[in-house]
């Protein structure tokens, strides 16, 4: 069983919180402070899950990556790794590595950690995009399509660029979900402009994004939005089939509001 790192936890809890000054810094707050320091220092975005800090504190991970140790020293005002309860694995591990030769040291673990955690878009930027895209969805019923479509298209280009660059799995999933929402909106907007083929392509993209993200609620929303076109074109059987599929998907994880909306459309 791993031995807890009491020094690190004590250091964190004795560092005043910026959110609640009368209390110690929480793990999520420490994670944000580390990411902010790394960005200010290296101009590289990292996404640090507070659960990794828990692993440092409970001793599951005894020697964090070099960039994280540097950030911890700065944020927690420590002069050395030892003050934070960190120490290399010892002479035995060092001797074993030397015996295996330089090939073992060619790729250091922290470099692989860097690849896993580096991201082309920050969590704050994603939160801003989520708010913006949801506002587009709310504006759709009252905004002319030729006014809303350029805004939606600009966000699609931004997401395209983000998804083409390195992202951790959590941020990639959020980006893919946002892509699905934008694709569904685009499908409706192009349909309103009389471009049924383009509309169909975007609805296909929305369904693919929902599948990629493993999000049945998003898939249900895309299918329900897609049913509107066939219904008003007189293809009621097609609309009914789309809504039946949407209901099945919504039953898995959608809110009561979503399910009521789909049932109302059907």
pLDDT score for 67 = 86
Tell me the β-bridge partners of 118. 46
Residue in the block written with tokens 């249900």: 220
Residue 89: the pLDDT is 57
Residue 111 has a pLDDT of 53
CA proximity to 126, closest of 75, 171, 156: 171
Domains and CATH numbers, the chain: 6-117 (1.10.260), 123-265 (1.25.40.10)
CA distance 64 to 34: 13
pLDDT at 43: 77
**Contact (Cβ atoms closer than 8 angstroms) between residue 69 and residue 86:** yes
Predicted local confidence at residue 105, as pLDDT:
45
- What's the predicted TM-score (pTM) here? 0.57
Tokens 């694709």 found at: 183
Q: What is the pLDDT of residue 13?
A: 92
Q: What is the pLDDT along the chain (266 residues), one digit of tens a residue?
A: 678 899 999 999 999 988 887 889 999 999 999 999 988 888 777 788 889 999 899 988 888 888 888 999 999 999 888 899 988 754 434 544 454 455 444 545 545 555 555 566 767 778 888 899 989 988 888 888 889 999 999 999 888 888 888 777 788 888 999 999 999 999 999 999 888 889 999 999 999 999 998 899 999 999 999 999 999 889 999 999 999 999 999 997 899 999 999 999 98
């Amino acid at each position: 069983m791993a031995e807890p790192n009491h020094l690190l936890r004590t250091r964190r809890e004795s560092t005043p919180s910026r959110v609640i000054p009368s209390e110690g810094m929480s793990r999520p707050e420490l994670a944000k402070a580390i990411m902010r320091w790394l960005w200010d220092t290296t101009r590289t975005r990292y996404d640090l899950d507070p659960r990794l800090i828990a692993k440092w504190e409970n001793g599951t991970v005894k020697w964090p990556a070099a960039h994280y140790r540097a950030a911890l020293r700065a944020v927690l005002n420590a002069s050395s790794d030892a003050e934070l309860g960190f120490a290399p694995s010892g002479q035995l591990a060092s001797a074993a590595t030397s015996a295996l030769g330089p090939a073992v040291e060619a790729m250091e673990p922290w470099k692989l950690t860097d690849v896993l955690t580096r991201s082309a878009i920050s969590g704050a930027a994603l939160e801003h995009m989520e708010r913006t895209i949801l506002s587009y969805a709310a504006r759709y019923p009252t905004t002319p399509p030729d006014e809303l479509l350029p805004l939606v298209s600009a966000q699609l280009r931004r997401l395209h660029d983000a998804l083409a660059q390195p992202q951790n799995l959590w941020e990639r999933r959020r980006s893919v979900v946002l892509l699905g929402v934008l694709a569904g909106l685009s499908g409706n907007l192009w349909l309103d402009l009389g471009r049924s083929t383009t509309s169909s392509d975007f609805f296909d993209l929305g369904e693919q994004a929902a599948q990629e993200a493993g999000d049945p609620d998003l898939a249900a929303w895309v299918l329900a939005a897609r049913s509107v076109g066939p219904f008003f074109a007189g293809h009621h059987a097609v609309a009914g089939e789309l809504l039946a599929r949407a209901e099945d998907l919504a039953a898995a994880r959608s809110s009561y509001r979503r399910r009521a909306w789909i049932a109302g459309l059907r």
